[in-house]
Structure 1
Amino acid sequence: MVWILIGITAYLVGSVVVWYGVMRQRNVDELVLSMLVAGVIFFMVAITMRWLRTEYGPFLTLFEVLLSNLFSLGFIYTLAYLFYPVVRSSALMVLPFFLFLGVWLLLVPAEAGQLPATYQTIWLWIHVGVGKVFLGICLVAVGLAAILLLRKLVRTDAWLASLPDDHELDAYVWRFIAIAFVFHSLMLLAGAVWAQDAWGRYWAWDSLETWAFITWLLLGLSLHLKLTYKIPQWSGWLLVMGIFAVAFITFFGVPFSSMGPHKGII
């Protein structure tokens, strides 16, 4: 648990630092990056320690899913933060989200589960892996969308005004959404192959599969509306945030409230 607490603390410090930088009009990018890297490392250690103790991957209980996503989301966001400077402003929204997941993690039971035989397949790893990449990339997009909406509401803030213009940030939002759509499609395909191997069917319309398909439809619909109908920028940003909300429910709610055969997983 100590590694988890240190990881959450790293995200907390990063969140405080980025808000301080905004309020004081100072560049704190390097310090925020160091806190992101520290958080990712500490959560990786926490996962490794638990994995060695339970002898299975972190994808069964809600505790394990939250823990693994604090690592995977942090890792993907850190890469985006490092290689795409335009993304860095979204830390104002993303780091508090990490804190929310961290507090939630501390409030759920930490006991280990019993790994079903149907989980012992390479297709589960592929399914989980591309699913985590999807959610991480979607988080980058929603962070930028949230910053753009904030700038629409607070037009007088000097820090928001100093960011790249709406057109440039909007373009990055939709690039990340397009990439997220690809990985979500791969997640569904890998999941179908795993389901066939585990239960003898590709699709059964259980709760998790249905919610995952709804998320995929919303992703495709949003891209179609953006490309075909040229919807207003602000409505597109709201749509992106709505997609992430549905994906959040799909990942962290449905698997633990339904009686589907694959509880946990992602």
Structure 2
Amino acid sequence: MILAADEGLADLSNMLIYSSMAVYALAFLAYTAEWIFGSRSKVARTAAALTREADGEAGAAVPAQAPAITVRKAGATSVLDRPRVVTRSSSPARDAVPDGPGAAGGDVQGDTYGRIAVSLTVLAFLMHLGGVATRALSVERGPWGNMYEFSTAFSMVVVGAFLGFLLAKKNVRWLGLPLVTTVLLDLGLAVTVLYTESAQLVPALDSIWMWIHVPLAIICGGLFYVGAISSVLFLFRDRYEAKIAAGGTARTLTASVMERLPSSVTLDKFAYRINAAVFPVWTFTIIAGAIWAENAWGRYWGWDPKEVWAFITWVAYACYLHARATVGWKGRKAAYLAIAGFVCFVINYYGVNIFFDSLHSYGGV
């Protein structure tokens, strides 16, 4: 028997999603204000300056616009003309790498905007979580049965991962602006183009694997997305560092943005650790999907477009990890592979569901 959806809970879910979008928009403005009015962490600048002094200032590349810094050490005062820019050729101590706005306490104005932005993100996430939960309650099933539900759950996981890193005392506030921007775009697409009325699922999806395979795919996609953002930001920061190391100068706006990001080394490691941790889970997700397919359709693998692109995504990330482990690929080559892997994931979701005839098209648009 197919149960009717609870329209009251479905309407509440929609209201909560729209409300979360409004608060995410306020958080976007606060993150933007942090990047415009905030400065690089004073603690990070001092640590970078001390590292420069310890290295004897050999081979240090500095931006022309950087201010002078006075550092007290062992009771003496040493005036350093410029803070050191940590580049790809450097091997800095972990504490010497600037970690973006608000990482270790910046100027009062910038840090205040950053704290407001994080607080608004938490509020928006709670509304977002409520919207996903009430959608599930309205139909008494998992809230990931169609593209609209998958999109709202996916963006919720992305924000949850970001807040989880912050809760674990990781200096990832630099992720806030690009992350909230793309979450707003994802939710905007979900409530306009992809919106589907709350309804029950087809019998093929009435399985325990619905609570295993699909949630794992959403979690993997959300974390792969965080890794992809880190890889994209790495490419910009790496190019900036290369230009400064070659003796070039950057425009004031470009330097202001780039100096708010962690070093390219930090971004590269951050992306790698996320992708390496998620890859085994993605492998199990594909295996779980094959088991579910055998239960529903009588075969483990049928080269359905969704299955093919899930496998292509797996191959892309496997190549990324293999290249790093065997031939020592780091930096730009590895970043391109990581971004390609996430592009394959996006094609698997949007492209296959919209443009291909697939057994997985029951979710609709």
Q: Which TM-score applies when normalising by structure 1?
A: 0.90
CA distance in 2, matches of 1:140, 1:84: 17
Task: Report the counterpart of residue 234 of structure 2 in structure 1.
Answer: 148
Deviations 1:100-121 (A, max 9, x none): 1011012123323441112111
Aligned positions of 1:39-118 closer than 5 A: 39-83=124-168, 85-108=170-193, 109-118=195-204
> In structure 2, which of residues 337, 356, 361 is the aligned counterpart of residue 258 of structure 1?
356
The verdict on how the C-alpha distance between 1:12 and 1:62 changes in structure 2, with shifts beyond 3 A counting, is same
Q: CA deviation at 1:257?
A: 3.4
The verdict on how the C-alpha distance between 1:107 and 1:162 changes in structure 2, with shifts beyond 3 A counting, is closer
1:30 aligned to 2:43?
no
The verdict on how the C-alpha distance between 1:164 and 1:134 changes in structure 2, with shifts beyond 3 A counting, is same
Task: Report the counterpart of residue 225 of structure 1 in structure 2.
Answer: 323
* Identity score, percent: 25
Larger radius of gyration: 2
Q: CA deviation at 1:176?
A: 0.4
Deviations 1:155-197 (A, max 9, x none): 5414532543322221111010111211211110111111111
Aligned length: 265
Deviations 1:3-31 (A, max 9, x none): 11111122222222222211112224432
The verdict on how the C-alpha distance between 1:145 and 1:40 changes in structure 2, with shifts beyond 3 A counting, is same
1:196 aligned to 2:294?
yes
The verdict on how the C-alpha distance between 1:92 and 1:236 changes in structure 2, with shifts beyond 3 A counting, is farther
> In structure 2, which of residues 335, 345, 354 is the aligned counterpart of residue 237 of structure 1?
335
Q: Which amino acid aligns with 1:73?
A: V
CA distance in 2, matches of 1:113, 1:233: 46
Task: Report the counterpart of residue 19 of structure 1 in structure 2.
Answer: 32
CA distance in 1, matches of 2:169, 2:236: 20
CA distance in 2, matches of 1:9, 1:234: 36
Task: Report the counterpart of residue 120 of structure 1 in structure 2.
Answer: 206
The verdict on how the C-alpha distance between 1:240 and 1:113 changes in structure 2, with shifts beyond 3 A counting, is same
Question: 1:59, 1:68 within 8 Å by CA — same for their partners in 2?
Answer: yes
Deviations 1:211-252 (A, max 9, x none): 000000000001111222223512222222222121112123
Q: CA deviation at 1:34?
A: 1.9
Q: Choose 179-188 or 87-96, whichever is displaced more.
A: 87-96
Task: Report the counterpart of residue 84 of structure 2 in structure 1.
Answer: none
CA distance in 1, matches of 2:157, 2:261: 27
> In structure 2, which of residues 15, 21, 27 is the aligned counterpart of residue 2 of structure 1?
15
Q: Choose 3-12 or 80-89, whichever is displaced more.
A: 80-89
SS in structure 2 at match of 1:57: coil
> In structure 2, which of residues 284, 304, 314 is the aligned counterpart of residue 216 of structure 1?
314
SS in structure 1 at match of 2:212: helix
SS in structure 1 at match of 2:172: helix
Question: 1:6, 1:42 within 8 Å by CA — same for their partners in 2?
Answer: yes
Q: Which amino acid aligns with 1:102?
A: L
Deviations 1:77-101 (A, max 9, x none): 3212332533321223221110110
Q: Choose 46-55 or 2-11, whichever is displaced more.
A: 46-55
Q: CA deviation at 1:73?
A: 2.2
Q: Which TM-score applies when normalising by structure 2?
A: 0.67
Q: CA RMSD in A?
A: 2.1
CA distance in 2, matches of 1:138, 1:35: 24
Q: CA deviation at 1:37?
A: 1.9
1:132 aligned to 2:214?
no
Question: 2:142, 2:211 within 8 Å by CA — same for their partners in 1?
Answer: no
Q: Which amino acid aligns with 1:214?
A: I
CA distance in 1, matches of 2:166, 2:326: 30
Contiguous gaps of at least 5 residues in structure 2: 1-13, 39-109, 242-249
SS in structure 2 at match of 1:201: coil
Question: 1:91, 1:143 within 8 Å by CA — same for their partners in 2?
Answer: no
Q: Which amino acid aligns with 1:14?
A: A
CA distance in 2, matches of 1:59, 1:177: 23
